[in-house]
Amino acid sequence: MGAVPVVLPDGMSGRSVAAQIEREFSGVWAWYGEATGSWWAMVRLDRGERLVEALNPEELRKAIVHARGWPWPR
């Protein structure tokens, strides 16, 4: 089964949206997983890093802000 294609505003790519998120959150590395159909970010915490997953860019922003308690991935 293939990944569900991401629908973004005209002229935007997964990489450009991820780059915007990286600019909004210092030290965060973000990307759209074409194979998974999920949005991902590696977030720095006080003691290391945390990988978070989200369904869309807005949810990824919430995941970054609440990385310590974000439920995905487990």
pLDDT in tens, 29-69: 999 998 999 999 999 999 899 999 999 999 999 999 999 99
State CA 46 to chain mean position distance.
19
Q: Identify the H or E element spanning 74.
A: none
Domain housing 63: 14-69
Answer whether residue 30 is part of any domain.
yes
Model confidence over 6-25: pLDDT tens digits? 555 555 578 999 999 999 99
Q: Quick count: other Cβ atoms within 10 Å of Cβ 36? A: 12
Answer whether residue 27 is part of any domain.
yes
User: Can you name the residues that pair with 29 across neighbouring β-strands?
Assistant: 42
Question: Which tokens in the block code for residue 20?
Answer: 């915007």
Q: Which pLDDT score, from 0 to 100, does residue 73 have?
A: 76
Answer whether residue 59 is part of any domain.
yes
Domain count, the chain: 1
